[in-house]
A = this chain, B = another copy of it.
Amino acid sequence: MIAQPPRHRLYVDAPLAAGLDVRLDGAQAHYLRDVMRLGPGAAVALFNGRDGEWLATLDTLGKAGAQAVAQTLLRPQGDEDGPWLLFAPLKKEATDYLVEKAVELGCGALLPVMTRRTQSQKVRTDRLRAQVIGAAEQCERLTLPAVFEPRPLAKVLEDWPAERRLFVLAERRDALPAARAFAGARALKAALLVGPEGGLDDKDLDALLALPSSTPVGLGPRILRAETAAAAALAVWQAVAGDWETR
């Protein structure tokens, strides 16, 4: 038994269970050895999004990678069924910010959506996924939100799962204030959609609101940047309908 979990926390893809050898890649080995100055025998925490968080001890540490042995379960795997976040890809820095904050705020999945006004047509989902892992390591999540390939809005709407409520963050007179909209959806599967910089095109907004399971939601009287709207909506969701109440 240990009193304190280890300071260093890494995501791995491999299965985790007592006694299992786990391979760490070259970047992780570099971080542990050259940045954190750890050597064989040092303790790290490992998680893979499926088997909980494990105390592991470093075995070998080389240039090409490292080896660790899983020892004790630190935290069992739990659900983290936060809302999906649908977003129109933004400029690089704004997207980076949006992804990082979405992971910290317990987002369940990230879905890049191509809207009429989407500024950036190129979305590198491998890059998004690397950011998701980095943010999850930092914020003590045990799960990784899924990262979907970018899809045109029309296609997303066509295939929308009827049982999932889609909250469209929109500046409209008939939009429900966020706290009221979300509190009424506590038990539902949910998704939040933020538009591109400059807001959703009217045609896109009409198509979104024509979906039987969509609701327009307002985030107050000021104009929020898209990445601010995403973080703000997720925070309000967690506070009134999500997992902030349980602590």
Contacts and interface: CB of A to CB of B under 8 A. Distances in A.
Interface stretch (A146-154, A203-211, A230-238): A230-238
A223 B177 contact: no
A25 interface: no
Interface string A216-247: 00111111110010011111101110111111
A105 interface: yes
Contact of A239 (B138, B221, B240): B240
Contacts of A239: 177-179, 219-220, 232, 236, 239-240
Given A232-B231, A239-B236, A239-B240, A222 B104 contact: yes
A131 B178 CA distance: 27
A139 interface: yes
For the side of the interface on A, what is the size category?
A: 35 or more
B245 A179 contact: yes
A112 interface: no
A239 to B, nearest CB: 4
A140 interface: yes
Contacts of A218: 244, 247
Contacts of A235: 219, 231-233, 235-236
A57 B160 CA distance: 48
Contacts of A165: none
A106 B232 contact: no
25 contacts: A97-B97, A100-B225, A101-B228, A101-B231, A104-B225, A138-B225, A139-B225, A177-B239, A179-B244, A180-B245, A218-B244, A218-B247, A220-B238, A220-B239, A221-B243, A221-B246, A231-B231, A232-B232, A232-B235, A233-B235, A235-B236, A236-B236, A236-B240, A239-B240, A240-B240
Interface of A: 97, 100-101, 104-106, 138-141, 175, 177-180, 218-225, 228, 231-236, 238-240, 242-247
